Amino acid sequence: MSKLSTASVAYHIRSHDTYGILSPNSLEGTGIIFRNYDFKLVSPPDSEYGQGDKKEKFRFARTLVCIQCIISALFAKILIQFFEGSKPDHTKNWLYGLCSLSYLGAMVSSNSALQYVNYPTQVLGKSCKPIPVMILGVTILRKRYPLAKYLCVLLIVGGVALFLYKPNKSSAVADDHVFGFGEILLLISLTLDGLTGVAQDHMRSRFQTTANHMMLNINLWSMLVLGLIVLTTGEVSDFLSFTERYPSIIYNILLFGVTSALGQTFIFMTVVNFGPLTCSIVTTTRKFFTILGSVLLFGNVMSSMQWVGTVLVFLGLGLDAKFGKTPKKTTH
């Protein structure tokens, strides 16, 4: 058994998830949905630079994420100086390191899996993140959820999957592929997402880790790991050459880093105040709400499957707000 799980099982969790699903209309939820837009609007990997036949695509994702971690760490440090002062942080460094490694591992596994899995599997994988967070929270941290909570999570996950799923009508041949390397990577990614949630839940319940300290230290560890990778692979030198050819990209990267840091602030606020499970549900439903918002604003037509998914999501959110709260313990 790992060091984290041993300590977690031995320790009786004092803080349970006493909140329902966080509404995306709240401050944290709005910030996370905003973060979904910043990736689409200012992310350099989606851009081409140059003119005519000499156009080049930005291909330095690891360097970009490393810079993002640097900016986010600086942003968190500023927040700590202004709002927390000299308040000590008693969280173990190995917990931050473990959380950072599981987060980066989940991201790498998920991105790699997309090269091997078909679209329905991809949608299902993206929609199921709250499930491993809940399962590992129950098995490792001995968390307790009411039965209604499990039903609500399944309704939300199923609704998001139905809403995002688009059948491939152009493919007339049935896909005989059942399970392979891509699915294994997807399972690894989901498991690591769950472990990230376990580590974060352990931090906030045992060490009362603040959102800003969590954001600072996880980004510092991620920056260290990614920095070693981009230096050893030589990606950083190629990146610097690219910025010399196209200096305008520096503005895009800085804008991307700042908006991402702002979004991370809301994410860690949600983790600390509401728990990793609620945060995973908000981040899972954010794409649903952005697409639904575009439908309402621009009058796009939704399919019958999307309407069913919409009903399931709102049903799950509504039931969770009413019945999904963990009852508070009473002291005598």
In this prediction, residue 4 carries a pLDDT of: 32
Look at residue 199 and give its three-state secondary structure: helix
CA distance 88 to 138: 29
User: How do residues 209-246 score in pLDDT, each as one tens digit?
Assistant: 999 999 999 999 999 999 999 999 999 999 999 999 98
CB 249 within 8 A of CB 10: no
CA distance 103 to 225: 12
In this prediction, residue 176 carries a pLDDT of: 53
CB 325 within 8 A of CB 18: yes
User: How do residues 170-185 score in pLDDT, each as one tens digit?
Assistant: 544 445 555 688 889 8
Give the C-alpha distances (Å, rounded to integers) separating 157 from 97, 125, 188, 252: 29, 10, 19, 34
In this prediction, residue 17 carries a pLDDT of: 33
CA distance 203 to 216: 14
Which residues, at least 6 apart from 276, have a Cβ–Cβ distance to it below 8 Å? 133, 137, 196, 197, 198, 200, 201
Strands (E), the chain: 48-49, 56-57
In this prediction, residue 270 carries a pLDDT of: 93
In this prediction, residue 21 carries a pLDDT of: 34
In this prediction, residue 99 carries a pLDDT of: 95
In this prediction, residue 271 carries a pLDDT of: 94
In this prediction, residue 165 carries a pLDDT of: 78
In this prediction, residue 292 carries a pLDDT of: 81
Which residues, at least 6 apart from 107, have a Cβ–Cβ distance to it below 8 Å? 65, 189
CA distance 140 to 276: 14
Strands 48-49 and 56-57: antiparallel
Residue ranges in the chain whose pLDDT is less than 50: 1-27, 29-30, 33-43, 45-46, 171-174, 329-332
In this prediction, residue 331 carries a pLDDT of: 42
In this prediction, residue 70 carries a pLDDT of: 96
CA distance 29 to 283: 8
CA distance 103 to 68: 14
Q: Name which of 149, 96, 161, 89 is nearest 125 in CA terms.
A: 161
